Amino acid sequence: MMLQVTGLHKAFGGVRAVDDVSFSLEKGELLALIGPNGAGKSTTFNLVGGQLAPDSGSVRLAGREMAGLTPRAVWRLGVGRTFQIAATFASLSVLENVQMALLSADGRVFSFWRRAADHRRADALALLESVGMAAQAERPCSALAYGDVKRVELAMALAHAPQLLLMDEPTAGMAPAERVALMTLTKQLARERQMGVLFTEHSMDVVFGQADRVLVLVRGRLLAEGRPEDIQRNARVQQAYLGSGRILGKHPA
Ligand SMILES: Nc1ncnc2c1ncn2[C@@H]1O[C@H](COP(=O)(O)OP(=O)(O)OP(=O)(O)O)[C@@H](O)[C@H]1O
């Protein structure tokens, strides 16, 4: 087991945001975390990524306890993360952005007198190749289509060769075809690199089309866990989503 989360609890005042959550994730697996608004998805993510410390419970990566470590320490142990908000430098080229990520992975800080442009150019190009962005390496990030920025961010997240990648709503704001393309690529990279991927997602076309397994959170508790086809048929899950209609419709909200 690559990631093992056991008995995780986190409360904010009287609100049990995450209430006795346990799950695991294998190498190369795409695991979707879904649930209605306020279910505890972001809190779970932040507990795994080190942005929050749990009240109790354990988060182990390849047997090592990570609960309570700082985000930087969690990152060093091999957990990468992409965010909803684009985290690229708009004025730098696509290639330079990936070179910056490599500098950071190597524990070196960008400085004006050591130009990122000299750092591991071939490795940066290889990362861009792996996400289909090598042809646009010299363009500034500001000139890219939104879907392409997401691919660059993926290449940047891969720069320190994470064992586990956390993706917080990776396809937010994308058109349906782009969403599926990005997650198909993510799945291919997960398989090739034997990297586990935990992602939150509101688009059910992505969840049911791409995830290997799905976790359903409702009011901080794990309501169901299983293969996409089983989750889709699960009566308790359908009931929990009644009202929002999200999980039942063929088309995403
Ligand atoms: N820093 C905080 N302080 C107080 N309450 C919080 C905090 N963070 C989350 N909560 C509460 O914990 C519960 C879970 O929130 P969380 O953001 O994890 O849900 P979510 O599933 O990510 O929701 P969404 O889909 O809307 O992003 C909610 O009731 C929320 O109001």
For a mutational test of ligand 1's pocket, the pick from 42, 48, 207, 241, i.e. the residue with the most ligand atoms closer than 8 A to its C-beta, is 42
Q: Is the pLDDT of residue 244 over 70?
A: no
Phi-psi category of 149—alpha, beta or left, where left has phi over 0 and alpha has psi -120 to 50? alpha
Distance CA 153, CA 83 (A): 9
Domains of the chain: 1-78+162-253 (3.40.50.300), 88-161 (no CATH)
Mean pLDDT of all residues belonging to the chain: 89
164-221 pLDDT per residue, tens: 999 999 998 899 889 999 999 999 999 999 999 999 998 888 999 999 999 999 999 9
Distance CA 189, CA 131 (A): 8
Predicted pLDDT of residue 110: 55
Cβ-based neighbours of 107, under 8 Å, separated by 6 or more: none
What number of residues does the chain have? 253
Q: Whose CA is nearest to atom 18 of ligand 1?
A: 40
Predicted pLDDT of residue 109: 61
Give the binding-site residues of ligand 1, using a 6 Å CB cut-off: 12, 15, 17, 35, 37-43
- Report the predicted TM-score, pTM, of the whole model to 2 decimal places: 0.90
Beta-sheet strands, E only, within the chain: 3-12, 15-25, 30-34, 56-61, 64-65, 79-82, 164-168, 196-200, 213-218, 221-226
Q: Whose CA is nearest to atom 6 of ligand 1?
A: 12
Residue 218 CA to ligand 1 center (angstroms) comes to 12
Which range has the worst mean pLDDT, 25-39, 115-129, 181-195? 115-129
Q: What is the ipTM score, two decimals?
A: 0.96
